[in-house]
Amino acid sequence: MSFHARAARQALLIFALIAIFALFARLWHIQRESFWADEGWTMLLAKGPTLAEVAQTMAEDQHPPLYFMLLRLWMDVFGDSLFMTRLFSTFWSLVCLAAVYRLSADWFSPMAGLVAALLLALTDNEIMLAREARHYTQLAALAALSALFYLRYARRPSRGSGLAWLVSSIALLYTHYLGVLLIAVQVMHALLIVRPLRRLPDLLFRFAALGVAFLPQFGVFLMQSSVRYTRPIIFQSTFPNTPETFIMVRTDLIGTHFGLTGALALLGLVYVTYRFGVARWRWRPLLPTALLALWVLFPIAFIVGINERFPILTTRNFLLVTPALAILIGHGILNLDRTARRLILAALIVVNLTTIDAYHIKPPWREVAQRWLTYREGDEALLMDIWVDDFALRYHIGQDLKTPPERLPLVSLPTWREMYREFFFAQLEAYLAPRDAFWLVYWGKNEDGLLDFLPDRGFARVAELTAKHYDNVIYLWRYERPPPTRLATFGELFALERANVDRHVDQQGESVRVTLLWRALGAPALDYSVSTFLLDGSGRLVAQHDGVPLDGNAPTSMWRAGDLKLDSHRIALPPDLPEGEYTVGVKVYWYADPAPLPVDGAEYFTLGGLRLP
């Protein structure tokens, strides 16, 4: 085996190790966090079930359809679990890694390709987006493939490279409209750099072919643009042109150690050779480095330039330039002498492994979904006033219930506000009129008086569960119309207004679920506990559940006179419980007092009978 063959084989082996590491880094904790708003929107747009329906849905959104159509096919094959859906982005991240390696190896050296691939594998922004069900890693991968095959065709035209350039570029344009910026960069590069001039007509003809291929989507783009800025629900996630925004973008792109990585990127624009320890600088060939420089600068300048008039600036959009930055930094490291490159590369590896430059904590919608499903009764509705995050919450509820979210009683209040406008409250009143109870998940400021409207319609807030996102509180409230009659009174402190008993089967096994509605007759100074239990025909205790109301979320010492409070208990049934008639009872006690509060002269109140199984 020749020296070059051994070197190529060794480079491929090292790249395979880098790719395995990149895969591990992107799969690490890929399921730890909930879907967030954009991922929930992805699932809504890609639900189909046919590709034609996905394309039609995308025509009413703000993006091209290719990613969502491919994701629909992916989910048809692998399922729509959180892991498998996000894995599609991981797949494209690895494609981008391979394209960056090949592009850098083709134009600089296999070692430069390996360094660029390693840096991309360690890039936090790329890792973060490879764990999200969004189209940004597909955008970056197709940008890298388009640049790879463009440069190959510009240097040495062939039928294979020309076809690959055309296909990858069309796919790029149908993945994200920002892909047009890379095609514009290629046009500028061809006009400025490619020689002899007799080759330009062929290149320009191919650019024209890309334009013709994109023409059907261009009409859709114009239609989308005409309504995009009339619907804040679509563009509300963009950032203004402020120093804080630019610092955030800089950190996501080249890290908090931006001085070092920025200097290395600039060094990557030139060629340095060493002879007898003396550096010799060369500016040519410009074919790849000029493209990389334009690839970084033009999209950034364009996005920032139009952002004031047409808001499109998000840190995610700049993943388009991340492949070029990785290649430039990698080439810059290889421009150093052997000792310096080893030290710098080792330092970058350590810094990237021990710090996080781009990470956004996602709201805990999976937790909110599970808590709602734990306490809701029957087919109770959930009103969602959480802006576009309701798409993510819908997904998690649907996953837990194994039911398409559109079949569930889930109401997006932001969507209703947009749809019904001045008739919003009339529609809401008509929806709630036949209902005695519902839930509201809320993350807002009561700007339109929603929280005042509900009590005015006879609903009392009977439960409050909370979740945190940064310093913000997400509320999950249950509203209920007070029952007209009372079931029992416990001492002089509590009245039982309503009770519901049903059998329940879940992953924890079979249980009896007891839901209670209490009214505080006074202001209890102590934290009382509620005991729900099963008695057999002889009055023997066979199962019970004791605890502070609502699993500790509603301690009685916080109740005020007149408050209505929801309570829920799950009585786990022993697996060997025989068939028969059982009695379900409830009592209230303070842990330091052996005697429970009296109820009609007894220690407990009978909720009813239950036959098992």
User: Where do the structural domains in the chain lie, given as residue ranges?
Assistant: 38-354, 365-480, 488-612
Q: How confident is the model at residue 129 (pLDDT cuts 50, 70, 90)?
A: very high
Contacts 24+ apart (CB under 8 A), 87-90: 87/27, 87/30, 88/133, 89/129, 89/130, 89/131, 89/132, 89/133, 89/134, 89/136, 89/137, 89/138, 90/23, 90/26, 90/27, 90/30, 90/130, 90/131, 90/137
Integer angstrom CA distances of residue 11 from 109, 115, 302, 427, 522: 10, 11, 37, 65, 77
Contact (Cβ atoms closer than 8 angstroms) between residue 392 and residue 36: yes
Using CA atoms, how far apart are residues 548 and 528, in angstroms rounded to an integer? Answer: 7
Locate 553 and state its tokens.
């979320």
- What is the layout of strands, in order, in the sheet containing 580-589? 541-547, 529-535, 580-589, 605-612
pLDDT in tens, 57-101: 999 888 999 999 999 999 999 999 999 999 999 999 999 999 999
Q: How confident is the model at residue 274 (pLDDT cuts 50, 70, 90)?
A: confident
Helix ranges (H only) for 268-381 are 287-307, 322-334, 338-354, 365-375
Per-residue pLDDT, 60: 86
pLDDT in tens, 401-420: 988 888 899 999 999 998 99
Answer yes or no: pTM beyond 0.85: yes
Quick check: 276 pLDDT over 70?
Answer: no
pLDDT in tens, 331-342: 999 999 889 999
Q: Is the peptide bond before 285 cis (omega within 30 degrees of 0)?
A: yes
| Range 532-554 average pLDDT | 94
User: How many C-beta atoms surround the C-beta of residue 459 within 10 A?
Assistant: 21
Quick check: 109 pLDDT over 60?
Answer: yes
Contact (Cβ atoms closer than 8 angstroms) between residue 580 and residue 536: yes
The whole-chain average pLDDT of the chain stands at 92
Quick check: 106 pLDDT over 60?
Answer: yes
| Range 265-284 average pLDDT | 78
Sign of CA dihedral 284, 290, 291, 296: positive
Find the helix packing angle between 82-107 and 322-334, rounded to 10°. 40
Per-residue pLDDT, 233: 62
Using CA atoms, how far apart are residues 63 and 68, in angstroms rounded to an integer? Answer: 9
Residue showing tokens 């429970």: 596
User: For the chain, what is the largest distance between any 2 Cα atoms, rounded to a whole number of angstroms?
Assistant: 104
Using CA atoms, how far apart are residues 135 and 177, in angstroms rounded to an integer? Answer: 11
Q: What angle do CA 201, 202, 208 make, to 5 degrees?
A: 85
Contacts 24+ apart (CB under 8 A), 41-45: 41/388, 41/391, 42/68, 42/71, 42/85, 42/133, 42/134, 42/135, 43/80, 43/85, 43/133, 43/391, 43/394, 43/395, 44/391, 44/394
Architecture field, domain 488-612: Distorted Sandwich (2.70)
Quick check: 325 pLDDT over 80?
Answer: yes
| Range 433-462 average pLDDT | 94
User: How many C-beta atoms surround the C-beta of residue 488 within 10 A?
Assistant: 17
| Range 370-394 average pLDDT | 93
Secondary structure (3-state) at 595: coil
Integer angstrom CA distances of residue 7 from 111, 240, 275, 479: 10, 48, 22, 70
pLDDT in tens, 8-51: 789 899 999 999 999 999 999 999 999 999 999 999 999 988 99
Secondary structure (3-state) at 385: strand
Quick check: 503 pLDDT over 90?
Answer: no
| Range 540-550 average pLDDT | 95
Per-residue pLDDT, 281: 74
pLDDT in tens, 584-594: 999 999 999 88
Q: How confident is the model at residue 4 (pLDDT cuts 50, 70, 90)?
A: low
Per-residue pLDDT, 358: 86
Q: How confident is the model at residue 236 (pLDDT cuts 50, 70, 90)?
A: low
Phi, psi (degrees; rounded to nearest 5) at 554: -135, 65
Locate 467 and state its tokens.
């979740």
Of 188-202, 233-247, 335-349, give the range with the top mean pLDDT. 335-349
Per-residue pLDDT, 586: 97
Contact (Cβ atoms closer than 8 angstroms) between residue 30 and residue 382: no
Using CA atoms, how far apart are residues 178 and 314, in angstroms rounded to an integer? Answer: 12
Find the helix packing angle between 179-192 and 136-155, rounded to 10°. 20
Burial class (CB in 10 A: 0-12, 13-18, 19+), 561: exposed
Per-residue pLDDT, 284: 59
DSSP letter string, 316-344: GGGGGGHHHHHHHHHHHHHTS-HHHHHHH
Per-residue pLDDT, 282: 72
Per-residue pLDDT, 383: 97
pLDDT in tens, 555-578: 999 999 999 999 999 999 998 889
Burial class (CB in 10 A: 0-12, 13-18, 19+), 421: exposed
Q: Strand runs (DSSP E) across 460-579, as ranges?
A: 460-469, 472-480, 488-490, 494-506, 509-520, 529-535, 541-547, 564-572
| Range 359-379 average pLDDT | 93
